[in-house]
A = this chain, B = another copy of it.
Amino acid sequence: MTAYQLDGMIKQPTRIQQKNTAAILEAALQVFSQHGFRGATLDQIADAAGLSKPNLLYYFPSKEAVHKTLLDGLLKTWLDPLRAMNPAGEPLAEIKSYVRRKLKLSRDFPRESRLFANEILQGAPRILDAISGDLKQLVDEKAAVIEAWIAQGRLARVPARHLLFSIWALTQHYADFDVQVRTILDKDHDPFAEAGDFLDVLFDRLLRAAPI
Contact = CB atoms under 8 A, between A and B. Distances in A.
A120 B177 contact: yes
Interface string A170-200: 1011101101110111000000001101100
A161 interface: yes
A97 interface: no
A59 interface: no
Nearest to A162: B198
A124 B182 CA distance: 12
Contacts of A195: 162, 165
A128 B179 CA distance: 9
A179 B172 CA distance: 16
A105 to B, nearest CB: 15
